[in-house]
Structure 1
């Protein structure tokens, strides 16, 4: 009976259902659903096509197919050292590309599991994620966005034009159109690139806050690592920043970044990539940053980068590149280790020298700005100098030149961060305080060059590029003092004089325009009357004998000799030139001394070997220019002369560290200007020539005394420290050794006990007189 009733019930239900279908309103509903369904099926592709092609200009433009297939990205240009280390970048947006092989598998896995775990399964759009997103919105419990890595890449690569009429209707239409464009571009990206390429492009295009664009710069900025060296918690920090770089910046918002990092690592656990124990251990670890925002004031070779920038800008303009955005790789001759050693040597010595400088001037109760004519302090030095500053000019524009407000504002104290040898310090300074403070600092320049190749290996343009922008290697010129004397003696040697020629230490009286000139020695006398060889005279830096030599060989011949060796600055052909009275740059001096070591061949300093475009194609090669500047025998005799400064018992370079001189041939020349404002040292070895200058930014900044400021005390210690560091590093390849000898032999003996010269017929001829008929180069 119960079975029969159940059957009847089922039959009735079917009848009722059939009757319901016949009702008109139900049929309309079904018809409407089918129409909407068919419209969606047919209309959605038409809609996507319309957006992609900006039909009737309603949706805004789209990148071309060519642009999608070949996405462009603003890339910083990178300066690379001879040993493959990045010296810095030129950029508007600090971005540098990496390849997929340069990404650690750990970083890639963390990105995929955290951001798009079905990345390898979809074709740019993850439709399974959309129901989750919608449900999250409805329940106010969002579990993340629905954008895939490919969609996020599309958004990073292209500025999506949304200036069409429909986009202006409101936020929702604008959002829908933007998403549609992302879908279309994502589809094209998936068609044209592999998954690995998409991941690489994505990580290269993210802005990670703190002026870090792309994964490479981000890893360097936050952890001082490369992308292939991150550990799991560091990778989680970087991946967490992908969603919101500012909010999850570990430097600015450490707690936010920590929470986000742990969320990312939980996803790794949730997907089975790490164990629960590993997750529990890692989540309690702090974020250990090595944070440093990259700019032109940080890193090594800052002055070199700044000087080189202007030259590169000219080259790029000529060849159609943008230094800031073309992603060039500029390979240089600078060795990163030698550069670091040079900067360390400078800092070690200059910090100590500055203390002594300040102490001695304080003991004299005087300021270091000195009038060369009177020897007294320059009155109103700071008041006159402030008038050349932008601060003063802006105040005059605001208040008027005669307004008391200008003086008042110049002395208003305000918070500022200043340089000190103990590190940056915060203080309250007025503009006048700042000027007074910074004008007391000694500056320096140092350059090391390989004499055989012309390659510059180290370049130190000052003590701190952030606070002192002026480059003292190539930009600045100063009187070289006694470091110019080798050009006088070189002229004499070329004329046939022997290094063994003996002269008396008596200052000559030389006729000059308008009177006579008679130089004093550094001790203030006109000579002791002692007899010595010209090698000894140069080694001891005796002015009187140098003056005798320029009187013999004539100033114009000295100028000619110096020009052939690479001195390009104007030289005044006067007798006082022998004491280094014409300004030259350190850059010129190092190149000129290299001509001695290179046995008479001048080689123009060079610092760029090649330039590559962003794809690694070599677009320029550079080779140094060379020329024969003097005979190789003359050059070697000058090496012998310069060695005297180190080996002579009274030589001004005698005080070099003993370890430097063991099993090593060294030549050196100190220099100090007359009023003790510049100290120089030029040091030569068989494979490295290095020059050092020390002084104030202003010529009127003087050392407390000539003895204190002489090159052997102010500049030579930097060379000593630098070379010591270089020799200790056996991997650099610039070890000790001996100078090359002329292949043709010598035309005179360098044994001063004999003092002979070989004549053309091989007979021995004793002589002190020059041979002016020698060939010129």
Structure 2
């Protein structure tokens, strides 16, 4: 021994060895003592709290969305299928049940094979508990020796975790925190995202695939690299066979199966009902700001794992979205073809005005750039994703090019509610939330056109006007309103001697008569009636109100129309029924807001419902019967605004009230012709296709087979008259009055 020590290289080897051991010991002790940051105490580890996603559920408890910083949904151990656990242990830590957090046997194997023998197949020596420590507390950059310091930290934390938690609890914590592809945390979120099912329902192939992605979440992302993921899944299955969790035949059989995804993204911009989810998020922000935890802290929408129960029917929503896409994609083609090369989205005045409203233009303007510099900047081309009904494309376009593209696109809004409560069942705020954030249900106010006429007629009947009151189609000039002369569209426009009763006039949406009815009952009474029906917008006191010049929010309009099938009581559409914390305790609950007082009498309601059924059976909405073959009990009203800027349809059934709008976001651009832009052509088909799909699905029978109540004998008697009549000889001889000195006010 003395002779060996006399050899210089041996003495140096021993010194270096002791120095290395000493260095490692010093670093370890330093980490243990908290020199590189405080380590979590036993108490802190005993109450591990991680940010949890808030879940958004539909009316039947189906997950439709989440709000999160980290997409995480925690599970209990009993929710984890055994084959999922087996796949993890076989692949990541086969000695999991034998070590105390740090597997010294595996580390020794790695040291000998990897470092000494150069065998890279020896594995990494990490354990599930070490990975959990990393998942829970992350890693920091210490400039020098970061990997060593982090490894020591994780080993100390892993041992403390093993002292506190059982193996089952460690597995539960691991599965709830481990990162999966697409910024997804926890097995439950990953299972729902990639296979659209809870983790407890994962089969062997799906479980093995998700475990396989842990090796490299980007490289093995099944959404982007399905074949690669399937190959990695097969490795996991072979590992399960190697360690006797599967027989060879079982592993081979499972490997022969194709991996099938059922991807459902909860990304805020895509997926089911994105406009609805964003609307709920805004509402939740206000609600949670007014609530306190028992600790006095406010709730955090993105971290506290809340569960928000909503009124949305996800199955119905899917049908509504499909109907909208079917119709709008077709209507868009017709819209563009109708204009040809002289389309308004190429008009310099319209384009220049739109350019000046762009955020980028305003930003450059504030920076002091000249007009030419701004336009030059906006003309720079770059690769940009553009919305197309045939499939989104990436093109080399400028900001101005992108603007022109968006100017030609039609947009839409659609809301369907339970008229007895106001519960929102479907909600479409636009054609695609990724490209168009503006919500046409909650944010937009558009002229409502002829959909306002039922409010005029409701006020008239409530004021005592009988349904068989006749009015001439003749045009009248109102001299105290700049000689305004409302006219009708259609062949009967100039037939001044033809008279319609109220039912025919409304079902045919006759403009001249609507204004005369407004004049007869008085503007003030019509406005008061609309207010009773839930219209909060200040309405213009002018005769054109009868033709729907007022700009009203789609939500308000829907809630007002609900009164016709809700005992004359309007409702306020609502989306949230209750919010619970992660333990299931109710934080706050909401009830429908229904006015106690009727907005009008039962008689008026029954008359109006009969008249609006005539709109569908023989009026402006007859294509519901003739073209779409709908046999349901339906009342409705079409609407078209001046210059064909807006198309509307209101569909009323006993258990569902639906309002659809179609138009261009730019108010300067309308449809080329009334034939294309009228509500019966632009908006009604969305409702029609929607109801065709509802009719084909028996789960909606309670809605589609519901029937209106039979009106009273008094109502039927008062409606029993000829739909039209012509003036007698003397009236035709002396003619109709075509001038009014002033518009009557009452």
Conserved in 2, the CA contact under 8 Å of 1:150 and 1:189?
A: no
Structure 1 counterpart of 2:351: 382
Whichever of the two has the greater Rg, that structure is 1
Structure 1 segment 314-353 matched on structure 2, within 5 A: 314-319=286-291, 320-353=298-331
Structure 1 segment 60-459 matched on structure 2, within 5 A: 60-122=37-99, 124-136=101-113, 137-141=115-119, 143-159=122-138, 170-171=145-146, 174-175=149-150, 177-190=152-165, 194-251=166-223, 257=229, 260-283=232-255, 287-289=259-261, 294-319=266-291, 320-362=298-340, 365-368=341-344, 379-396=348-365, 400-403=369-372, 405-459=373-427
Conserved in 2, the CA contact under 8 Å of 1:61 and 1:161?
A: no
Conserved in 1, the CA contact under 8 Å of 2:72 and 2:176?
A: yes
Count of aligned positions: 692
CA distance in 1, matches of 2:226, 2:348: 53
Structure 1: runs of 5 or more not aligned = 1-19, 21-39, 370-376, 756-777
- State the Cα distance separating 1:225 from its structure 2 match: 4.2
Conserved in 1, the CA contact under 8 Å of 2:54 and 2:301?
A: yes
Q: Describe the shift of the 1:588–1:172 C-alpha distance in structure 2 as closer, same or farther (beyond 3 A).
A: closer
Q: Which secondary structure state, in structure 1, belongs to the residue aligned with residue 583 of structure 2?
A: coil
Q: Out of 581, 585, 599, which is 2:567 matched to?
A: 599
- State the Cα distance separating 1:685 from its structure 2 match: 0.7
Q: Describe the shift of the 1:59–1:690 C-alpha distance in structure 2 as closer, same or farther (beyond 3 A).
A: same
Q: Describe the shift of the 1:169–1:457 C-alpha distance in structure 2 as closer, same or farther (beyond 3 A).
A: closer
Conserved in 2, the CA contact under 8 Å of 1:502 and 1:533?
A: yes
Structure 2: runs of 5 or more not aligned = 2-20, 292-297, 723-746
**Does 2:616 match 1:637?**
no
CA distance in 2, matches of 1:494, 1:395: 56
CA distance in 1, matches of 2:145, 2:171: 33
Q: Describe the shift of the 1:507–1:65 C-alpha distance in structure 2 as closer, same or farther (beyond 3 A).
A: farther
Q: Deviations over 1:580-614 (max 9, x none)?
A: 01100111111100011102112211111111112
Q: Describe the shift of the 1:636–1:181 C-alpha distance in structure 2 as closer, same or farther (beyond 3 A).
A: farther
Structure 2 counterpart of 1:622: 590
Q: Describe the shift of the 1:746–1:698 C-alpha distance in structure 2 as closer, same or farther (beyond 3 A).
A: farther
Structure 2 counterpart of 1:760: none
Conserved in 1, the CA contact under 8 Å of 2:77 and 2:168?
A: yes
CA distance in 1, matches of 2:316, 2:164: 45
- State the Cα distance separating 1:354 from its structure 2 match: 0.7
CA distance in 2, matches of 1:197, 1:180: 18
Q: Describe the shift of the 1:309–1:587 C-alpha distance in structure 2 as closer, same or farther (beyond 3 A).
A: same
CA distance in 2, matches of 1:156, 1:608: 34
Conserved in 1, the CA contact under 8 Å of 2:474 and 2:512?
A: yes
Conserved in 2, the CA contact under 8 Å of 1:160 and 1:181?
A: no
Q: Describe the shift of the 1:692–1:175 C-alpha distance in structure 2 as closer, same or farther (beyond 3 A).
A: closer
Conserved in 1, the CA contact under 8 Å of 2:265 and 2:271?
A: no
Structure 2 counterpart of 1:32: none
- State the Cα distance separating 1:668 from its structure 2 match: 0.9
Structure 2 counterpart of 1:522: 489
TM-score w.r.t. length of structure 2: 0.86
Q: Out of 688, 691, 701, which is 2:659 matched to?
A: 691
Q: Which secondary structure state, in structure 1, belongs to the residue aligned with residue 651 of structure 2?
A: strand
CA distance in 1, matches of 2:551, 2:253: 65
Structure 2 counterpart of 1:717: 685
Structure 1 segment 574-613 matched on structure 2, within 5 A: 574-613=542-581
Stretch deviating more after TM superposition (482-491 or 72-81): 72-81
Q: Describe the shift of the 1:282–1:398 C-alpha distance in structure 2 as closer, same or farther (beyond 3 A).
A: farther
Structure 1 segment 710-749 matched on structure 2, within 5 A: 710-732=678-700, 733-740=702-709, 748-749=715-716
**Does 2:719 match 1:752?**
yes
CA distance in 1, matches of 2:88, 2:101: 16
CA distance in 1, matches of 2:473, 2:551: 27
